[in-house]
Protein backbone atom coordinates (compact mmCIF):
# COMPACT_ATOMS: atom_id res chain seq x y z
CA UNK A 1 0.00 0.00 0.00
CA UNK A 2 1.37 3.43 -0.92
CA UNK A 3 1.91 6.03 1.79
CA UNK A 4 -0.68 8.43 0.36
CA UNK A 5 -3.20 5.57 0.10
CA UNK A 6 -3.85 6.08 -3.62
CA UNK A 7 -4.62 2.38 -3.99
CA UNK A 8 -7.16 0.91 -1.61
CA UNK A 9 -8.26 -2.67 -2.28
CA UNK A 10 -11.46 -2.02 -0.31
CA UNK A 11 -12.62 0.22 -3.16
CA UNK A 12 -12.31 -2.54 -5.76
CA UNK A 13 -15.78 -3.90 -6.39
CA UNK A 14 -18.24 -4.71 -9.16
CA UNK A 15 -21.78 -5.96 -9.51
CA UNK A 16 -22.52 -9.56 -10.47
CA UNK A 17 -25.11 -9.39 -13.24
CA UNK A 18 -24.61 -12.55 -15.31
CA UNK A 19 -27.78 -14.28 -14.17
CA UNK A 20 -29.15 -16.31 -11.32
CA UNK A 21 -29.50 -19.87 -10.12
CA UNK A 22 -32.88 -21.26 -9.15
CA UNK A 23 -33.75 -24.59 -7.62
CA UNK A 24 -35.52 -25.51 -10.86
CA UNK A 25 -32.17 -25.10 -12.67
CA UNK A 26 -30.55 -27.83 -10.56
CA UNK A 27 -30.10 -31.47 -11.49
CA UNK A 28 -30.76 -34.24 -8.97
CA UNK A 29 -27.09 -35.24 -9.03
CA UNK A 30 -24.31 -32.68 -8.34
CA UNK A 31 -21.91 -34.25 -10.85
CA UNK A 32 -24.45 -33.76 -13.62
CA UNK A 33 -24.76 -30.12 -12.55
CA UNK A 34 -20.99 -29.79 -12.43
CA UNK A 35 -20.67 -31.25 -15.92
CA UNK A 36 -23.20 -28.72 -17.24
CA UNK A 37 -21.33 -25.79 -15.68
CA UNK A 38 -17.93 -27.11 -16.80
CA UNK A 39 -19.14 -27.38 -20.40
CA UNK A 40 -20.41 -23.81 -20.21
CA UNK A 41 -17.04 -22.68 -18.82
CA UNK A 42 -15.31 -24.39 -21.76
CA UNK A 43 -17.75 -22.86 -24.26
CA UNK A 44 -17.05 -19.44 -22.74
CA UNK A 45 -13.35 -20.08 -23.44
CA UNK A 46 -12.28 -19.53 -19.87
CA UNK A 47 -8.57 -19.99 -19.28
CA UNK A 48 -7.93 -23.34 -17.58
CA UNK A 49 -11.55 -24.24 -16.79
CA UNK A 50 -10.40 -27.48 -15.11
CA UNK A 51 -8.04 -25.63 -12.75
CA UNK A 52 -9.02 -26.15 -9.13
CA UNK A 53 -7.62 -24.97 -5.83
CA UNK A 54 -6.76 -28.04 -3.76
CA UNK A 55 -6.66 -27.52 0.00
CA UNK A 56 -5.07 -29.95 2.46
CA UNK A 57 -4.12 -29.74 6.14
CA UNK A 58 -0.86 -30.83 7.78
CA UNK A 59 -0.51 -32.66 11.10
CA UNK A 60 -0.36 -29.33 12.97
CA UNK A 61 -3.63 -28.11 11.48
CA UNK A 62 -1.95 -25.69 9.07
CA UNK A 63 -3.93 -25.51 5.79
CA UNK A 64 -2.18 -25.36 2.40
CA UNK A 65 -3.58 -24.55 -1.03
CA UNK A 66 -2.35 -24.95 -4.59
CA UNK A 67 -3.79 -25.05 -8.12
CA UNK A 68 -4.10 -28.51 -9.70
CA UNK A 69 -5.86 -29.60 -12.90
CA UNK A 70 -8.89 -31.89 -12.72
CA UNK A 71 -8.21 -34.82 -15.04
CA UNK A 72 -11.37 -36.93 -14.80
CA UNK A 73 -14.70 -37.09 -13.00
CA UNK A 74 -17.56 -39.56 -12.85
CA UNK A 75 -19.93 -41.00 -10.28
CA UNK A 76 -16.93 -42.40 -8.40
CA UNK A 77 -15.45 -38.93 -7.80
CA UNK A 78 -12.95 -36.38 -9.09
CA UNK A 79 -9.42 -37.33 -10.13
CA UNK A 80 -6.07 -35.54 -10.11
CA UNK A 81 -2.44 -36.66 -10.33
CA UNK A 82 0.69 -35.64 -8.45
CA UNK A 83 4.11 -36.62 -7.17
CA UNK A 84 3.53 -38.91 -4.18
CA UNK A 85 6.45 -37.30 -2.39
CA UNK A 86 4.91 -33.83 -2.66
CA UNK A 87 3.70 -31.85 0.32
CA UNK A 88 0.06 -32.39 -0.64
CA UNK A 89 0.54 -36.15 -0.90
CA UNK A 90 2.30 -36.33 2.46
CA UNK A 91 -0.51 -34.34 4.07
CA UNK A 92 -3.20 -36.51 2.47
CA UNK A 93 -1.42 -39.60 3.81
CA UNK A 94 -1.92 -38.23 7.32
CA UNK A 95 -5.31 -36.62 6.75
CA UNK A 96 -7.39 -37.76 3.74
CA UNK A 97 -9.90 -34.92 4.04
CA UNK A 98 -9.70 -32.51 1.09
CA UNK A 99 -11.36 -29.42 -0.33
CA UNK A 100 -11.54 -28.46 -4.03
CA UNK A 101 -12.56 -25.08 -5.41
CA UNK A 102 -13.27 -24.09 -9.03
CA UNK A 103 -13.15 -20.26 -9.47
CA UNK A 104 -14.94 -19.42 -12.72
CA UNK A 105 -14.78 -15.63 -12.24
CA UNK A 106 -15.74 -14.66 -15.78
CA UNK A 107 -19.09 -16.42 -15.32
CA UNK A 108 -19.53 -15.17 -11.74
CA UNK A 109 -19.52 -18.79 -10.61
CA UNK A 110 -17.77 -20.96 -8.07
CA UNK A 111 -18.00 -24.64 -7.21
CA UNK A 112 -16.71 -25.96 -3.88
CA UNK A 113 -16.22 -29.65 -3.08
CA UNK A 114 -15.56 -31.43 0.22
CA UNK A 115 -14.56 -35.06 0.36
CA UNK A 116 -12.07 -37.79 1.16
CA UNK A 117 -9.31 -39.10 -1.08
CA UNK A 118 -8.35 -42.61 -2.09
CA UNK A 119 -5.26 -43.51 -4.10
CA UNK A 120 -5.71 -44.59 -7.70
CA UNK A 121 -4.59 -48.05 -8.77
CA UNK A 122 -1.26 -48.48 -10.57
CA UNK A 123 -3.17 -49.42 -13.73
CA UNK A 124 -5.21 -46.21 -13.66
CA UNK A 125 -2.08 -44.12 -13.06
CA UNK A 126 -0.09 -45.88 -15.78
CA UNK A 127 -2.87 -45.44 -18.34
CA UNK A 128 -3.01 -41.69 -17.72
CA UNK A 129 0.78 -41.26 -17.44
CA UNK A 130 1.37 -42.69 -20.91
CA UNK A 131 -1.36 -40.48 -22.37
CA UNK A 132 0.59 -37.35 -21.39
CA UNK A 133 2.94 -35.52 -23.79
CA UNK A 134 6.42 -37.07 -23.65
CA UNK A 135 8.00 -33.92 -22.20
CA UNK A 136 5.45 -33.98 -19.36
CA UNK A 137 6.34 -37.59 -18.64
CA UNK A 138 10.02 -36.65 -18.47
CA UNK A 139 9.23 -33.69 -16.20
CA UNK A 140 7.60 -36.09 -13.73
CA UNK A 141 10.96 -37.87 -13.42
CA UNK A 142 12.89 -34.59 -13.04
CA UNK A 143 10.99 -32.92 -10.22
CA UNK A 144 11.04 -34.13 -6.62
CA UNK A 145 8.04 -31.94 -5.94
CA UNK A 146 8.19 -29.55 -2.96
CA UNK A 147 11.86 -30.34 -2.24
CA UNK A 148 14.33 -27.44 -2.03
CA UNK A 149 16.67 -26.78 -4.97
CA UNK A 150 19.47 -24.23 -5.34
CA UNK A 151 18.91 -23.14 -8.97
CA UNK A 152 16.53 -23.69 -11.87
CA UNK A 153 19.52 -24.88 -13.88
CA UNK A 154 19.49 -28.16 -11.94
CA UNK A 155 15.99 -28.91 -13.23
CA UNK A 156 16.77 -27.90 -16.78
CA UNK A 157 19.98 -29.91 -16.86
CA UNK A 158 18.28 -33.01 -15.51
CA UNK A 159 15.45 -32.59 -18.01
CA UNK A 160 17.84 -32.48 -20.98
CA UNK A 161 19.75 -35.47 -19.60
CA UNK A 162 16.60 -37.58 -19.29
CA UNK A 163 15.24 -36.38 -22.61
CA UNK A 164 18.34 -37.82 -24.24
CA UNK A 165 18.11 -41.00 -22.18
CA UNK A 166 14.47 -41.59 -23.14
CA UNK A 167 14.90 -40.52 -26.76
CA UNK A 168 13.83 -43.94 -27.95
CA UNK A 169 11.16 -46.17 -26.47
CA UNK A 170 8.52 -45.78 -23.77
CA UNK A 171 9.16 -43.74 -20.65
CA UNK A 172 8.59 -45.88 -17.52
CA UNK A 173 6.14 -44.80 -14.85
CA UNK A 174 8.00 -43.33 -11.85
CA UNK A 175 7.31 -45.25 -8.65
CA UNK A 176 6.81 -41.92 -6.85
CA UNK A 177 4.11 -40.60 -9.21
CA UNK A 178 0.41 -41.33 -8.73
CA UNK A 179 -3.07 -39.97 -8.37
CA UNK A 180 -6.10 -39.55 -6.14
CA UNK A 181 -9.83 -39.89 -6.46
CA UNK A 182 -11.86 -37.48 -4.35
CA UNK A 183 -14.95 -39.20 -2.98
CA UNK A 184 -17.44 -36.36 -2.75
CA UNK A 185 -19.37 -35.65 0.45
CA UNK A 186 -20.72 -32.24 -0.52
CA UNK A 187 -20.70 -29.87 -3.48
CA UNK A 188 -21.75 -26.22 -3.45
CA UNK A 189 -22.71 -24.14 -6.49
CA UNK A 190 -22.37 -20.36 -6.19
CA UNK A 191 -23.76 -17.86 -8.69
CA UNK A 192 -23.05 -14.17 -8.22
CA UNK A 193 -26.08 -11.85 -8.07
CA UNK A 194 -26.68 -8.12 -7.80
CA UNK A 195 -26.42 -6.37 -4.44
CA UNK A 196 -24.38 -9.31 -3.09
CA UNK A 197 -27.54 -11.42 -2.80
CA UNK A 198 -25.79 -14.39 -4.36
CA UNK A 199 -27.42 -17.74 -5.11
CA UNK A 200 -25.89 -20.70 -3.27
CA UNK A 201 -27.03 -24.32 -3.34
CA UNK A 202 -25.31 -27.16 -1.54
CA UNK A 203 -25.64 -30.88 -2.25
CA UNK A 204 -24.86 -33.13 0.72
CA UNK A 205 -24.64 -36.89 0.53
CA UNK A 206 -27.31 -38.76 2.47
CA UNK A 207 -26.62 -42.46 1.97
CA UNK A 208 -27.06 -43.14 -1.74
CA UNK A 209 -29.00 -39.91 -2.33
CA UNK A 210 -28.29 -36.18 -2.27
CA UNK A 211 -29.99 -33.56 -0.12
CA UNK A 212 -30.14 -30.07 -1.65
CA UNK A 213 -30.40 -26.86 0.37
CA UNK A 214 -30.25 -23.17 -0.48
CA UNK A 215 -27.70 -21.22 1.58
CA UNK A 216 -27.85 -17.55 2.49
CA UNK A 217 -25.19 -15.49 0.71
Which among 193, 196, 205, 214 is annotated as catalytic?
A: 196
How far is the C-alpha of 124 from the C-alpha of 50, rounded, in Å? 19
The whole-angstrom separation of Cα 8 and Cα 1 is: 7
196 as an active site residue: the answer is yes
69 is in an annotated binding site: yes
Q: Does 197 appear as a known binding residue?
A: yes
What is the rounded CA–CA span in Å between residue 157 and residue 163? 10
Closest of 211, 189, 187 to residue 200, by C-alpha: 189
Is there a binding annotation on residue 196?
Answer: yes
User: Is 123 marked within a binding site?
Assistant: no
Residue 82 marked ligand-binding: yes
66 is in an annotated binding site: yes
DSSP letter string, 116-131:
EEEEPPHHHHHHHHTT
Residue 68 in marked binding region: yes
DSSP 24: G
Active-site residue set: 196
Instruction: Give the annotated binding-site residues.
Output: 13-16, 66-71, 81-82, 87-88, 110, 128, 132, 136, 145-146, 190, 196-198, 200
Instruction: Give the annotated binding-site residues for FMN.
Output: 66-71, 81-82, 87-88, 110, 145-146, 190, 200
Instruction: Give the annotated binding-site residues for substrate.
Output: 13-16, 71, 128, 132, 136, 196-198
Amino acid sequence: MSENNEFDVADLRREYVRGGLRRSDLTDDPLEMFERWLKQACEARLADPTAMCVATVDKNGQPYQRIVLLKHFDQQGMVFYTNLGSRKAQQLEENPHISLHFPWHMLDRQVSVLGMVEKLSTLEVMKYFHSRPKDSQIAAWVSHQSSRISTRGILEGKFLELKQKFLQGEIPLPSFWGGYRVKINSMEFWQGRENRLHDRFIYQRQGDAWEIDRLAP
